[in-house]
Amino acid sequence: MNILFVADPLEIFKIYKDTTFSMMREAQRRGHRIAACGPEDLVWRSGDNVKAAVREIRLTEETEPWFLETGTPVKALKDFDAVIMRKDPPFDSEYFYATHLLEHAEREGARVFNNPRALRDHPEKLAIMEFAQFTTPTLVTRDADAVRAFHDLHKDVILKPLDGMGGMGIYRVKADGLNLGSITETLNRNGATSLMVQRFVPEITAGDKRVLVIGGKPVPFSLARIPQGSEVRGNLAAGGKGVAQPLSARDLEIANAMGPVLAARGLLLVGLDVIGDCLTEVNVTSPTCFQEIHDQAGFDVPAMFVDALEAATQR
């Protein structure tokens, strides 16, 4: 296959842990050709196909340089066997516009994973609403009084912005309600922006588990991202420690219920965040943790992903 990765600049990849790099490495190992571009390289002109200035590359098996550029042609996305959207959040206006360009490329015959419409339809915080049976009590609102009432009911809560990533902007407010008003004003911008409030799940001390679902099927190991020191956030970007572990019975219940539903919508790769027994987020933009699980548990997540990609392109 000829595979295009739409991603962040290659020069900023941290290849010792980067999931997109692990996908590329496995694809090249199987003889597939690799190219890369960023969303900023996507172009459409009336009367023409969606195209991109792409970087055709070959991985070197070295750490520096880790790739060699073998060509920089302009190509139509429909001429690739698979286009993999791996641009990291934030899901901002430019990301939104990119999904429309990618969706138009699909109409021209491109095969895009994850499906661009599904990316738009599954905001990573709000996607849990469809699967509320698996979540901790949750509120989405702009209303500061509603936030205070939710806190009065549950006493210990987490507040977070709907567009955050990597643990950015997450606050815990305990029973004393200290700074609840100030935190709410910061997150909802005095009522202009919605925020999410969730009952605190004390099992966070055992980790915020990333449960990967590929082609509708769960990877048998999660990466538990365990908060360090006084930190309440387990996100690796916030200093959490990643520990691979087998899925629990509850992890499997959640993944097996959600996996086929999301896969049928064109979401080839999903990262479910589970704390204790509770689903907290559904990550669809660029789920990570392939290399950490592979290195610690020995399960070849990149191979499972490329297996699913090869199968999807044959359908």
**pTM for the complete prediction?**
0.94
40 belongs to the catalytic site: no
CA atoms of 271 and 287, how far apart (whole Å) = 5
Is 225 assigned a catalytic role?
Answer: yes
Residue 178 lies in a domain: yes
Q: Which of 106, 124, 273, 292 is catalytic?
A: 273
CB atoms within 10 A of CB 90: 14
Are 224 and 193 within one domain? no
Nearest in space to 102 (alpha carbons), one of 152, 52, 60, 136 = 52
Question: Catalytic residue among 160, 188, 209, 235, which?
Answer: 160
Q: Exactly one of 106, 251, 281, 292 is catalytic; which is it?
A: 281
Nearest to 274 by CA among 215, 219, 195: 219
164 and 237 part of one domain: no
Tens digit of each residue's pLDDT (9 = 90 or more) over 278-302: 999 999 999 999 999 999 999 999 9
17 is catalytic: no
Same domain, 192 and 209: no
What pLDDT tens digit does each residue of the chain (315 aa) get? Answer: 999 999 999 999 999 999 999 999 999 999 999 999 999 999 999 999 999 999 999 999 999 999 999 999 999 999 999 999 999 988 899 999 999 999 999 999 999 999 999 999 999 999 999 999 999 999 999 999 999 999 999 999 999 999 887 778 899 999 999 999 999 999 999 999 999 999 999 999 999 999 999 999 999 999 999 988 877 777 777 788 999 999 999 999 999 999 999 999 999 999 999 999 999 999 999 999 999 999 999 999 999 999 999 999 998
Q: Which of 208, 210, 235, 292 is catalytic?
A: 210
Domain count, the chain: 3
Cis amide prior to 65 (ω within 30 degrees)? yes
In a domain, 125, yes or no: no
Does the annotation mark 210 as catalytic?
A: yes
Token representation of residue 39: 């969303």
Instruction: Spell out the residues 6+ positions from residue 259 whose beta carbon is closer than 8 angstroms to its own.
Output: 213, 216, 217, 218, 270
User: Annotated catalytic residue: which of 125, 188, 209, 292?
Assistant: 125
Which of the residues 225, 235, 251, 292 is marked catalytic? 225
Active site residue 250: no
Instruction: Note whether 168 and 208 are same-domain residues.
Output: no
Give the domain-ending residue among 119, 153, 170.
119
What's the domain range around 36? 2-119
Q: Residues 39, 108: one domain?
A: yes
User: Which of 200, 218, 250 lies at the terminal end of a domain, its last residue?
Assistant: 200
Alpha-carbon gap, residue 55 to 277, rounded angstroms: 43
Q: Are residue 59 and residue 145 in the same domain, yes or no?
A: no
Q: How far is CA 119 from CA 95, 123, 266, in A?
A: 10, 7, 9
Instruction: Tell whether 288 is covered by a domain.
Output: yes
Helix locations, the chain, DSSP H: 19-29, 93-107, 116-121, 144-154, 180-188, 249-264, 290-297, 301-314
Claim to verify: residue 212 and residue 189 sit in the same structural domain: no
Give domain status of residue 154, yes or no. Answer: yes
Phi, psi (degrees; rounded to nearest 5) at 242: -90, 125
Q: Which of 87, 233, 251, 292 is catalytic?
A: 233
Q: Is 233 a catalytic residue?
A: yes
Q: Rounded to an integer, what distance in angstroms lies between the CA atom of residue 49 and that of residue 109? A: 10
* Residue at which a domain ends, from 93, 119, 145: 119
124 lies in some domain: no
Of all residues in the chain, the percent with pLDDT exceeding 90 is 91
CA 39 to CA 95: how far, in whole Å? 7
